[in-house]
Amino acid sequence: MATQEMTDRIIETDVLVIGGGVGGCPAACKAAEHGLEVALLEKSKIERSGQTGPGLDEIGAYPRDGATVLDLMGRFPGRSSDPNMRYRVIDNMLWALEELERLGVNMRYVDGEYGWMPWNGLHSKDVGPKVQLRVHWQNVKPEMAAAVRKRGVKVFDRTMVVDLLTHNSKVAGATAVNTRTGEFIVFKAKAVVLATGRVSRHYGPDAPPSWKYKMAYNFFAPSMAGDGHAAAYRAGAELTCMEMAGQGPFPRDAMLLQPGQFFQNDGMTGLTLNWKGEELAPHQEMTHYMESQGMLPIYFSIENLPDDFQKRVEVHIADETMIRLKLAEDRGFNPRAHRYHLSLRGVGNGNILVNENFQATLKGVFAIGDCGGAGGGGGSPTAGFLVGDTIHKYVSEAGEPVVDEGQVENQRRAALAPLAVKDVNEGIEPLEMEYTVRSMCEEYGGAIKTEGMLREGLRRLGSLKKDFMPRLMAINPHYLGRCLEARNILDMAVVHLQASLERKETRSRGWGNTFVRFDYPKEDPTYSNKRLCQRLEKGEAVIEIKEVPALKPEYAKESK
């Protein structure tokens, strides 16, 4: 069968950006400014999609005010992405700040000035230099979306990636499904930029098991299904640090409010308390508490702050996700006086393995933002601009993409299979599948892992995939999208447990980035400066422990 007959539409483009958040939008804009044809896939709608859909309150940290790039890199110890890539991101953040303003994104705080805030860092209570940028980013996404559309980028909203197309070990595009119309689309592209955010929706809701009631999510649900990770992995690209796609502390009472706001409140810090009300040193002691769960719960509080600083925290919350203030009020929770219960939730630090130029191990694939290990409100746009600015070099040498028709047919069959399941007694709802994967991950992975439980979890996930996945049922295109997510979530859950089994040690890499094996309670130097890399080879997972590249000498000697 010819490709035309297998698909509803074929789109040819130079660059295909998958994911229209604060990483994907800048990448698409910049590539389009270089005269490239750009298509942007977004499973929601770019005006309010991604982790900053409802807003963001702060960005950091910037290399200014005496803080060097190396200083700031030191603030994120042990992240296992390429340090040269991280160097480039931080080194270009001030440039990206100007670029964002040029796109029409409001970067000013009050009185038309930048809202530079001192940053006490994540590991001490000392007030540091002013390197964090306070932003009113409630409308960052509508502003970015306008810039994307103005530049003639072809935007495909409500369109979800199925899989990447490859030819001769090189990317040739991707297949996708519109989750409102069911349209199956083939994208022929010379280069693909993955910007689909993190992966942690394989972890359970911390709330009561909520399938059939409300599905509880960690962070922003659509950004956490790991669509980009899963598509890259199935296409043969390497993932790294997937054992870290685990859990970290989030204030539960504020409905996923990020604790950064307590610490980076213009140098005025809140309190971290144990259940008896005794103060803990944030981060170090907290991590310790997290590891020994008998000492939980932990609380955050801003009860110690003067009135105007408490008010500032409220504005932080409003800037990031305003609804939280409303929900808190409904529940009689006073954001100023009451203590926020911290609980463990999926945070997702695993990423697609990329080099200094954000290139994945599959040729023609670039990964940015949380997808590629340089995320956050600052890292994602910076990486996006950097890739968008240089991708024309790759595109000009890439040659015409060749679409393998057999591959398209396989992907189409796999993607649309749930629509063909008609027997309601046999068919399985995607949310039930997702809930099952998440509760298995919670039970057999969880915050503290052991070999036996990991093996049992993998066995169960394996049979879930074999016996139940083929019965996944979608009664309409909306549910087909959820089925595709469930497939990605299951694949990433397996990867996460496999990687967790392979890391035989316990390691705290700072806050929200802790890996605990009950059966290997000590840090093992074998894993120092190393990272686990995982890829699919003939359907089998291959995991290797690889050296993290050293910082290049020309970067290492910098100290402006």
Site residue total, other proteins (CB under 8 A): 37
Q: Which part of the chain contacts other proteins (CB under 8 A), choosing from 25-33, 203-211, 281-289, 368-376?
A: 203-211
Pattern of binders to other proteins over 114-153, x per CB under 8 A? ------------------------x---------------
Pairing mode, strands 184-194 and 9-18: parallel
**The binder of other proteins chosen from 180, 311, 413, 455 (CB under 8 A):** 180
Q: Which is nearer to other proteins, 63 or 204 (CB)?
A: 204
Contact 489, 465 (CB under 8 A): no
- The nearer residue to other proteins, 256 or 295, going by C-beta atoms, is 256
Near other proteins by CB under 8 A: residue from 13, 44, 361, 382: 44
Cα 135 from Cα 116, distance rounded (Å):
9
* Member of 27, 29, 37, 49 binding other proteins (CB under 8 A): 49
Looking at residue 502, its amino acid is E
Residue numbers 413-432 binding other proteins by CB under 8 A: 431
Binding flag, residue 210, other proteins (CB under 8 A): yes
Phi, psi angles (nearest 5°) of residue 88 = -60, -40
Identify which of residues 62 and 217 has a Cβ nearer to other proteins in the complex.
Answer: 217
Smallest gap, in angstroms, from Cβ of residue 223 to other proteins? 8
Stretch that binds other proteins, among 45-53, 296-304, 407-415, 547-555 (CB under 8 A): 45-53
For the CB of residue 331, give the shortest distance to other proteins in the complex, in Å: 6
DSSP string for 73-86:
HHTSTT--S-HHHH
Does the footprint of other proteins cover residue 47 (CB under 8 A)?
Answer: yes
Residues in the chain: 560
- Specify burial of residue 537 (Cβ count, 10 A radius: 0-12, 13-18, 19+): exposed
Q: Token match 């240089």: residue?
A: 390
Q: Which is nearer to other proteins, 296 or 475 (CB)?
A: 475
170 neighbors 361 (Cβ within 8 angstroms): no
439 in contact with other proteins (CB under 8 A): no
**How many other C-beta atoms are found inside a 10 Å radius of the C-beta of residue 552?**
12
39's CB contacts (< 8 A; 6+ apart) are: 11, 13, 15, 16, 17, 153, 154, 155, 156, 187, 189
With CB under 8 A as the contact rule, the residue among 330, 467, 547, 554 that binds other proteins is 330
Q: Which is nearer to other proteins, 446 or 477 (CB)?
A: 477
155 binds other proteins, rule: CB under 8 A = no
Candidate residues 247, 258, 301, 321; the one interacting with other proteins per rule CB under 8 A? 321
* Rounded-to-integer distance, Cα 58 and Cα 305, Å: 19
Question: Cβ–Cβ contacts within 10 Å for residue 539, how many?
Answer: 6
Nearer to other proteins, 28 or 255 (CB): 255
Strand order in the sheet with 530-537: 351-352, 239-240, 530-537, 540-547
Collapsing DSSP states into helix, strand and coil, what is residue 426? coil
Distance CA 170, CA 181 (A): 30
C-beta of 260 vs 364, nearer to other proteins: 260
Work out which of 1, 94, 323, 550 binds other proteins, going by CB under 8 A. Answer: 323
User: Which residues from 228-267 bind other proteins, rule CB under 8 A?
Assistant: 255
Site pattern 363..402 for other proteins (x: CB under 8 A): ----------------------------------------
Q: How far is the CB of 47 from other proteins (least distance, A)?
A: 6
Question: Positive or negative CA dihedral for 417, 418, 423, 425?
Answer: positive
The yes or no reply on residue 326 touching other proteins (CB under 8 A) is yes
What is the SS3 assignment for 316?
helix
Given a contact cutoff of 8 angstroms between Cβ atoms, the answer to whether 242 and 495 are in contact is yes
Q: Which residues pair with 360 in a beta bridge?
A: 354
Q: Which is nearer to other proteins, 475 or 551 (CB)?
A: 475
Q: From the CB of 21, what's the least distance to other proteins, in Å?
A: 10
Contacts by 551-559 with C-beta closer than 8 Å and gap 24+? Answer: 551/83, 551/84, 551/87, 552/84, 552/87, 555/69, 555/83, 555/84, 555/87, 556/70, 558/68, 558/69, 558/70, 559/68, 559/70
Task: Give the one residue of 1, 221, 402, 550 binding other proteins; rule: CB under 8 A.
Answer: 221
348 is an interface residue for other proteins by CB under 8 A: no
**Which of 327, 419, 464, 475 contacts other proteins by CB under 8 A?**
327
Cβ-based nearer residue to other proteins, 45 or 460: 45
Which parts of 195-321 are beta strand (E)? 239-240, 247-251, 271-274, 298-301
Residue 129 or 375 having the CB closest to other proteins = 375
- In the complex, which residues of this chain contact other proteins (CB under 8 A)? 44-45, 47-49, 53-54, 138, 158, 179-180, 207-208, 210-217, 220-222, 255, 321-324, 326-327, 330-331, 431, 478, 481-482
